[in-house]
Chain A
Amino acid sequence: MESVVFIFSLIDCCALIFLSVYFIITLSDLECDYINARSCCSKLNKWVIPELIGHTVVTVLMLISLHWFIFLLNFPVATWNIYRYIMVPSGNMGVFDPTEIHNRGQLKSHMKEAMIKLGFHLLCFFMYLYSMILALIND
């Protein structure tokens, strides 16, 4: 059972890693002026909810399977994701708003956030990998 949980988490984590990389690539494309803000933001906004769900599922799974440490590690990030999604002002077009992304250094902060998430997911990846192997051995 344990191993199934971690195999699922591992796959989910891989997806999240890819998503983070995609975010970083798209944002840096915008930074370098290869794509315009409108298309960049519509691309990214599409993936905000999948990311949110993907991460929340793992977090909840960890809570259910009573892996406290991993749950506590994931909890702040999941909360941040949800908070960020909820706090979008009613007039904005999503977490990434094309009219504001170039203002007040938002682009940089989005970039930073994506980087941090990438690091976090990588960390999680190895953790899940280790736990999975451990679980498989125990089985």
Chain B
Amino acid sequence: MSAPAGLPPRPSAPPPLGAPAGVAQAGARPQHNGPVQHQMQFFTGYPQNYSAPSGHYAQVPSKAVPSQVDNQYGAGYYSTGYSVPAQSVLTPSVGSNLLNTQGSQQSYSKVPPHPVESAEGLGQGAISSTSYLRTNTPQSYSAFGSHYSTSVSSSVASQGFPLNSGHYAMPMVSSAAYPSLSYPSMATASPYGQVFTSQSLPAIGQFKEMNAFSGQSTVVSHSLQQVPMGYRSTSWSTSDVQSAQDSLSRNHTESLAKASNQTSTVGGVDSSHLVSQNVRFIKSGVGSSVSSAVTSSERTPVDHSAQPGPVPSVTKPSESLLQEGIQYDGYVNNQASSTPAPLSSSSGDEEEDEEDEEAAIDSSSTTSSASPVPNNYDALEGGGFPETRSITSSPAPAPSVPPTSKTSKPFGYGYPALQPGYQNSAPPTSAMQPTNPGHHSGFQQYSQYPGMNQLSSSLGGLNLQHSQQPESLRPVNLIQDRNILPITPVPAPVPNLNSDLRKLNCSPDSFRCTLTNIPQTQTLLNKAKLPLGLLLHPFRDLTQLPVITSSTIVRCRSCRTYINPFVSFIDQRRWKCNLCYRVNDVPEEFMYNPLTRSYGEPHKRPEVQNSTVEFIASSDYMLRPPQPAVYLFVLDVSYNAVEAGYLTVLCQSLLENLDKLPGDSRTRIGFITFDSTVQFYNLQEGLSQPQMLIVSDIDDVFLPTPDSLLVNLHESKELIKDLLNALPNMFTNTRETHSALGPALQAAFKLMSPTGGRISVFQTQLPSLGAGLLHSREDPNQRSSTKGVQHLGPATDFYKKLALDCSGQQTAVDLFLLSSQYADLASLACMSKYSAGCIYYYPSFHHTHNSAQAEKLQKDLKRYLTRKIGFEAVMRIRCTKGLSIHTFHGNFFVRSTDLLSLANVNPDAGFAVQMSIEESLTDTSLVCFQTALLYTSSKGERRIRVHTLCLPVVSSLADVYAGADVQAVICLLANMAVDRSVSSSLSDSRDALVNAVVDSLSAYMSTVSNLQQSTLIAPNSLKLFPLYVLALLKQKAFRTGTSTRLDDRVYAMCQMKSQPLIHLMKMIHPNLYRIDRLTDEGAIHVNDRVVPQPPLQKLSAEKLTREGVFLMDCGSIFYIWIGKSCDNNFIKDVLGYPNYAAVPQKLTQLPELDTLSSERTRSFISWLRDSRPLNPVLQVIKDESPAKTDFFQHLIEDRTEAAFSYYEYLLQIQQQTCK
């Protein structure tokens, strides 16, 4: 945390986006409306278990089928989105143009089942992994679902145009024709400008005041909403604002669309007739624009849609609630709707669940509302309320007392004194004190705790060394102990915290630290010789995530930390920041807990009960209105590309997933193709067929038409489908071998810069024309040299500059490289690295000759197109005072000391940071790290996802080793090694990796006193460290001696920098299982399926037997290796072939056979697949097939001609440690 973080930024230079630090919030609201400030209530019986509110909901609209209800909201959103256009299309086509009926019915035949499917399918809770991605947002959105349903209808009708356009007009537009072009409509083309300016926000402040906790204010805002400008009054909850704002922008765009439609009817040409004087458009279809009259009929309800907005009140009938969706007093339940039961993963205790149910019954009288319900006040002010609470709850907390104190002892060896303090904020223990005095004493103890802690933690340290040694410190003799690999995948170590904090702590999947015990000083850290850093996976797909809608997001006034479970409440009114230790006021609104409907319990708010939460951000967090989802595809169509045939796969995938692209009704899409020229596609609604516009002036590339290159996905869907169907065959006869990638990218940047979004680049060769052209730098003879590897860095700064420009305009560039030859990925990758994109590489891709790669591309595309996406994101990582971040790893641009600018963020992106300890941490016993990711969801909502991790501080070296997280250490080292090999040399980084092992192990051995010299001892926590480092050294990125193509190596390096830990570990050290003898022993049950759990095998050929069949899980690919004398039964039962000889060389699928072993194998493989989003491809390898080298290169414990075996390597390390 840099010191000036607390300073207000200079007004002259506000951060371009992401107001988190810059825009100060209104601060604590004056408390004149606060009803009860002096009463201390302890609603001990009330549940804090925020994550189970589906139970609460159950009572709200109707008593029956709770989950069904909120599912329908989610589904309803989509179904309306899809079904409405369908209707609107059918009408015009029948009425106006008989020719079209054929076409439009055909194309929409898929649509009608949609609502049915989604309503039912979701309702049953059968949610596939992709669909729960979506349920994340819809529920919060559902509040204005009805609003959307109407707005979506905007003039889709135009798509009922003749589909008979077979050939494409390709007018050559030379630059000479263009100089006279001017684009007057450019500035106004985006709806933003106007919408924004029309919204002056003077009234917000006023209404905020009015709304604060007054029952009537709901009425006010409600009535105001009917007024078109009612937007201003609804600052009460952000979703209100958004819905209204949306409607405004919707109106606006629609009127624009309408206008353009009308002009086109009048003009009789397409709306791009502006340019048509200079550009000759040859149109084959007649392309009449029928649409405008019809579309307007669907638009009428828009104005009313804001009215039934998210202001449900007590008296509202349940039907209206059904339509509106649920808004739970600002807390929008986001729990995956598949679990109707109140039990959820974040609540372990049965007591809590009981309380929950009680509370649910209690609260049944009130519905959710955006305003505090008046009858609550009555209850609060009539003093009887607290008593009744404590009475009802008293049976529950009573049993909870002994268990907590018991369980906390063995774990919390360091901090027994912590407990009383944290009891106030921790759920089960706070229930212990139903009376005021008890509570107060708790607070007093708490404020004293730092001093006591220090003492006890040092005592704890003593304990640790002398009496009991934790498992993680048990010395392991690496040379003697041959089977160090555990039989189950290595779990993340659990931080040594007391049980309450541990329960609240962030999931290791999202947030991991290399040292779960943070050393007190930098000296201690240096002694340990282990890197200190964090590994983040912040945008991971979560099944359950508390989403909070609140007008004030509570943050520390000085360091802007979001309130989190690890802050301490000094008293009812003040909290102490756990990062900078500033004492802050608790805002009035925060005193009210909408979950329990109780007042005065800020420590039971969901923000304080969950370490991973998501806030719906208010307009304070926007510098411009949330951008729509914009996707641009930049496709290589040179001879190489056509030969490889990726276009077929891509267009097919796009056609299949066009409806699943994340986005709302504003979603826009565009296409650019390039060979030696750049081709644009005019997809303007109203055209009969897509028009190709060719720009051959690649030295100064320009956009042939200002708009209509990026078109609304829903309005021009037919044209887009036409284009996608035609694209694969359009260039079949091309002879153009050049590739002008640079100019195409520049054009893409120009196209995207007004909005931002995502550019997906497909490239199949070295760019050879125009700006950014590259030359081959690889010398094939040097591929297996053991000397240094050259050219790991970029050759030109063109792509880097482009990426930074893109990043500045909130555009990310994703690169798909499908090259069979060297394409200089090291240079090309820069375009994605610094614009927060992602990189996919398919070496020697061919759609028929290399079916494995084709399948992989197809699967990757499916995931890529449908996964969640966050736009215009920024991420800030904060840590407790004394720690500071000095290096960042991942794909992004570091805009300021702790602010990462992410134009796009996707759920598969991982990040890593390195930290140092700047000030000694002696006066604290806990440190916290917080990442806040501010992004715009694909639905146009501004959201903040906050993760907080809390870790203990230790003062002894042994404790540091005890808390080492070997997987995190390895991943961080891999990142550092990649940096090292680019900035220095590969051999340097290899040496550094080996030295990391040698140094840390010798440092550890020097702490263990009774030690004979000739062994190699590691603490149990680090016993896999040497093995993993060896695996790293044999990884494609760092190996020497073995022939490795430069692009492969660079790709592996890119993956290391951008993959999250779980994927990276699989890549570094694959899991090997024997699968020919699967049994149900130790099997687990997942969704009524029995999944066998075979033990992990060492990655060594000694474990392979000719009789066996082995599965290797490398993260992105599964290898199944079949031994020569494999049991014929297995081949018959699982593979479906009579004997070994009959098994084909290339097999990428297991047949579905009705045998027990086949079932077991398939369920095991699909279980492995489900655990990750990457959809790995399967490759069956026979013992004699040439592909077996792929398999054997992963057996890292074995000796190869170029590298040591594990044992030799250990001996080498031992030698070096003894020196």
Query: What residues make up the interface of A, taking CB atoms closer than 8 Å to B?
Result: 30-38, 89-93, 98-99, 101-105, 107
Say if the beta carbon of B460 comes within 8 Å of chain A: no
Pairwise interchain contact A37-B894, C-beta atoms closer than 8 A: yes
Question: Is there an interface contact between A89 and B793, defined as CB atoms closer than 8 Å?
Answer: yes
- A102's nearest neighbour on chain B, judged by CB, is B894
Contact, CB under 8 Å: B4 / A103: no
In the complex formed, the residue of B with least CB distance to A90 is B795
**Contact flags (1/0) for B885-896 with A, using CB distance below 8 Å?**
011100001111
Choose the segment among B5-13, B496-504, B512-520, B1098-1106 that binds chain A (4+ C-beta atoms closer than 8 Å).
B5-13
CB-nearest residue of chain B to A28: B4
Min CB distance A102 to B, Å, is 4
B354 within 8 A of A: no
CA distance A99 to B16 in the complex (A): 17
**Listed stretches B481-489, B547-555, B800-808; interface member:** B800-808
Q: Please, what's the 1-or-0 string for B785-796, where 1 marks a CB less than 8 Å from any CB in chain A? A: 000000001111
Which of A89, A93, A101 has the most CB atoms of chain B within a 10 A radius of its CB?
A89
Q: Does B15 contact A (CB under 8 A)?
A: yes
For the complex of A and B, list the 6 residue pairs with the smallest distance between their C-beta atoms, beginning with the closest: A91-B794, A102-B894, A33-B896, A32-B4, A103-B887, A93-B797
CB-based nearest A residue for B892: A99
**Residue A32 contacts which of B7, B833, B888 (CB distance < 8 angstroms)?**
B7
CB pair B827–A34 under 8 Å, yes or no, is: no
Contacts of A36 in B (CB 8 A): 15-16, 895-896
Determine which of A37, A99, A104 lies in contact with B800 in the assembled complex, contact meaning CB atoms within 8 Å: A99
**A93 proximity list for chain B (CB < 8 A):** 797, 800-801
Residues 825 to 840 of chain B near chain A (Cβ within 8 Å)? 826-827, 830, 833-834
Q: Which residue of A lies closest to B21 (CB)?
A: A33
Task: Count chain B CB atoms within 10 A of each CB in A37, A93, A102, A105 and give the residue with the most.
Answer: A102
CA distance A35 to B896 in the complex (A): 8
7 contacts between A and B (CB under 8 A): A33-B2, A33-B9, A38-B808, A91-B800, A92-B797, A99-B894, A101-B894
Q: With A33-B9, A90-B793, A98-B893 in contact, is A105–B886 under 8 Å at CB?
A: yes
The CA-CA distance from A64 to B796 in the complex, in Å, is 38
A32-B4 Cα distance, complex, nearest whole Å: 6
- Which partner residue on chain A sits nearest B885 by CB separation? A102
Task: List the B side residues contacting A91 at CB < 8 Å.
Answer: 793-797, 800, 826-827, 830
Instruction: Give chain B's interface secondary structure class.
Output: mixed
B979 at the interface (CB under 8 A from A): yes
Chain B residues with CB under 8 Å of A30's CB are 896
Instruction: Establish whether residues A38 and B897, one from each chain, have CB atoms under 8 Å apart when the complex forms.
Output: no
What's the minimum C-beta distance from A95 to chain B, rounded to whole angstroms?
A: 13
Q: For residue B983, which residue of chain A has the nearest CB?
A: A89
* Alpha-carbon gap, A73 to B15, bound state (A): 43
Instruction: Write out the residue numbers on chain B whose beta carbons fall within 8 Å of the beta carbon of A98.
Output: 804, 893
Identify 14 new A-B residue pairs, CB closer than 8 A, beyond the known A37-B895, A91-B795, A99-B833. Answer: A30-B896, A32-B4, A33-B2, A33-B4, A34-B9, A36-B15, A90-B796, A91-B796, A91-B827, A99-B834, A102-B897, A103-B886, A104-B886, A105-B886
Give CA–CA (A101, B893) in the complex, Å: 11
Q: Which residues of chain A come closer than 8 Å to B893, judged between CB atoms?
A: 37, 98-99
A102: B residues at CB distance < 8 A: 888, 894, 896-897
User: A-facing mask of B1-31, CB < 8 A → 1, else 0?
Assistant: 0101101011001011000010000000000
Of all chain A residues, which has the CB nearest B834? A99
A55 to B2, CA, bound (A): 34
* Nearest chain A CB to B805 CB, angstrom units: 9
Q: B6 to chain A: closest CB distance in Å?
A: 11
A103 near B793 (CB under 8 angstroms)?
A: no
CA distance A28 to B314 in the complex (A): 56
Task: Give CA–CA (A34, B886) in the complex, Å.
Answer: 19
**Residues of A with C-beta under 8 A to B2:** 31-33
Residues of A contacting B833 with CB < 8 Å?
99
Q: Please name all residues of chain B whose beta carbon is closer than 8 Å to the beta carbon of A107 when the two chains form the complex.
A: 897
Interchain CA distance A110-B1118 in the complex, whole Å? 47
Which residues of B sit under 8 angstroms from A38, Cβ to Cβ?
Answer: 804, 808, 895
With a cutoff of 8 Å between Cβ atoms, the chain B residues found around residue A31 in the complex are 2, 4, 897
Specify the chain A residue showing the minimal Cβ separation from B830. A91
**How far, in Å, is A33 (CB) from chain B's closest CB?**
4
**Are B795 and A37 neighbours in the complex by a CB distance under 8 Å?**
no
**Closest-CB distance, A105 to chain B (whole angstroms):** 5
How far does the alpha carbon of A30 sit from the alpha carbon of B827 in the complex, in Å?
A: 27
> How distant is A45 from chain B, measured CB to nearest CB, in Å?
11
**Interchain CA distance A33-B896 in the complex, whole Å:** 6
Q: How far is the CB of B811 from chain A (nearest CB, A)?
A: 15
Tell which of B801, B830, B897 touches A33, judged by Cβ atoms closer than 8 Å: B897
Task: Enumerate chain B residues within 8 angstroms of A92, measured Cβ to Cβ.
Answer: 797, 800
Do A99 and B804 contact each other (CB < 8 Å), given the known contacts A36-B895, A91-B827, A104-B886? yes
Shortest Cβ gap from B340 to chain A (Å): 47
Alpha-carbon distance A34/B12, docked complex (angstroms): 9
Nearest B residue to A41 by beta-carbon distance? Answer: B804
- The residues of A that contact B4 with a CB separation of less than 8 Å are 31-33
Task: Indicate if the CB atoms of B888 and A103 lie closer than 8 Å.
Answer: yes
- Is the beta-carbon distance between A37 and B888 smaller than 8 angstroms? no
Enumerate chain A residues within 8 angstroms of B808, measured Cβ to Cβ.
38
CB distance from B911 to the nearest CB of A (A): 13
